[in-house]
Structure 1
Amino acid sequence: MRSSNPVFSRRGFTRGNEYAGFGAQGAPGAQQGNPFGAPGANPYARNPYEQPQPQGRPLTPDEMERMYAGPAAGPAQTGRMTIDDVVARTAMTLGLVVVGAVLGWTVLPHQYGLAVGSALIAFVLAMVQNFKRRPVPALILGYAVFEGVFLGVISRMYNEAWQGAPVQAVLGTMAVFAGMLIAYRTRLIRVTARYQRIGLAIAVGFVLALFANLLFYAFGSSNGLGLTTGGLGIVFCLLGIGLGAFFLSLDFKQIEDGIRYGAPQQESWLAAFGLTLSLVWIYLELLRLIAILRD
């Protein structure tokens, strides 16, 4: 399984028949729609419930009868990812984000330099995880803690300027998550390769615009490109929230494909990581939108 979040673009989708997949594009014998490739091309493609056959002779009727009478293999025996794994690990990462946020809000208020430092550490941990072949829980959990500290300090700042803004942003983030989950489950949204290409192209343009805005700030413009105030700021924030919702839909597709095609259990850490990144993105964009609207 590969993370669909833009920060993990190296692990992103490749094009399949209709839906985006995760396997090597053009892999010989790859099954269309199966992101884990074909038997022999990918170790995840082997049926986890298949019983090994003794070498050199076929199974006897008695041996086959004993196999059929035995208990079915479950996720704990096969080491395959389940929705429970994703939920548990997402709860852990989000829980640590909350712990870090409480620390930043109550113990480290007005420590804006520390908040920026925490954000940089969280970014570095995310990048290190990106270049790892396998998910490293310590990196993911460390990211959650430092990102939480950053969010706590920033949220306290927003709350002092716009009372109740963080609570409104949290409720809005939950609403976006629930709406996207319902839309995905009812197939109002279908994650196709074309859908992904368009969304990621918009995301690249969004990030470039943010970078240009920072450059204008750095060289003395008091309002940058005007992306943080007024009507243009509102439109830009709404676009950012829409992109966050787009990232969530890719995360949902990643989880669905991982469970369907037997991704290893440890890949649930990447699914949790992607969900956490998307939710943090949406929360920050909602904070900015609320501040602009209340000004």
Structure 2
Amino acid sequence: MRIIETIEEMKIFIKQAKAKGLSVGLVPTMGSLHEGHLTLMRQAKKQSDIVVVSIFVNPTQFGPNEDYAKYPRDLSGDSVQAGTAGVDVIFHPQAQEMYPKGYSSFIEIDGITQKLCGLSRPGHFRGVATVVTKLFNIIQPDIAFFGQKDAQQVLVLKRMVSDLNINVVIEIVPIVREKDGLAMSSRNAFLSAEERSAALVLFRSLQLAKQLVARGDVKVEDIRQQVVANIQLEEMAQIDYVEIYSYPLLETMDKMIGKALLALAVRIGKTRLIDNIILEG
């Protein structure tokens, strides 16, 4: 497995791979790899000749009061894990490589970004869309693999790829969870033992919504309010948002008709966690 740190070297590698007729799968990450990431990599290995994993903590998607400086970084450990998943190349550029002095170009996606994480984290998806576009241009993947845990991000990127006619397939891989249901996340490392236990309220609340729909509840606001009430039973939980939108368009809906995305963002202590489930009325 190779570690490549410059855009020019990455482009040369890809040019050589494409000249041999090899397909390329990309798994974009910010490092601090866990089983959720490794699942994406193994899926990429099944569907691609060459698997590239980007490890880049992208500064443009963090707000001024967010955890960019504290975001966990462990290239050595990440490299070992990526190697076990069959990754061929890690692309690990520095911030100045991706955003050199004078950099001034950004990607904006309207509408779908003005809700959920886009509403509570202004500028977040501008940074995500920009860095992913850059990765697509540098690596030219045939398929890019993303996890369903970042449901809004996936939908934003699918819209971007469609609108800008980018020649890449977005593959969505289901959420990977711990045995007790907690969605795997690099930010779970910030949780104390007590906070880790409290964080299970997210999964329990999603399951509650699933049960409500299964028994025939159709009023979206009623379901949402019961989920909110369930989360509020946990004293350590502070709700950022609990929302239900149609899936995949993320439009408002009054009744459960067809597929819907129930998305949560909740702070447990100082750690902001997200989770979601696809409901079907």
Please indicate the TM-score interval, normalised by the length of the shorter structure. Answer: under 0.3
Between structures 1 and 2, the one with greater strand share: 2
Q: Which has the higher helix share?
A: 1
Larger RCO of the pair (alpha carbons < 8 Å, separation 6+)? 1
How high is the TM-score relative to the length of structure 1?
0.25
TM-score of the superposed pair, with normalisation by structure 2: 0.26
